[in-house]
């Protein structure tokens, strides 16, 4: 959840930069925010998969 709070901070910074009309900083920070969000999504997916029980199909007797 630490990464989630970092993403929230970056979104707040983006809002502030947009209000100051600093397009270069907005684009730079937006790129980093997107990368962080993608890494967070991968982490959540990994954690979900590691806690999901493995379900298999019974072997066929044929």
Q: Tens-digit pLDDT profile for the chain (62 aa)?
A: 577 787 788 888 878 877 777 778 778 878 888 888 888 888 888 877 776 666 566 666 55
* Domain range annotation of the chain: 2-50
Please say whether the beta carbons of 14 and 29 come within 8 A. Answer: yes
User: CA-based Rg of the chain, rounded to a whole angstrom?
Assistant: 20
Q: What's the whole-model pTM score? A: 0.48
């Amino acid at each position: 959840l630490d990464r989630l709070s970092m993403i929230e901070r970056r979104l707040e910074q983006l809002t502030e930069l947009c209000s100051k009309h600093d397009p270069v900083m907005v684009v730079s920070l937006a790129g980093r925010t997107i990368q962080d969000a993608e890494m967070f999504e991968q982490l959540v997916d990994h954690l979900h998969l590691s806690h999901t029980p493995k379900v298999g199909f019974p072997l066929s007797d044929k």
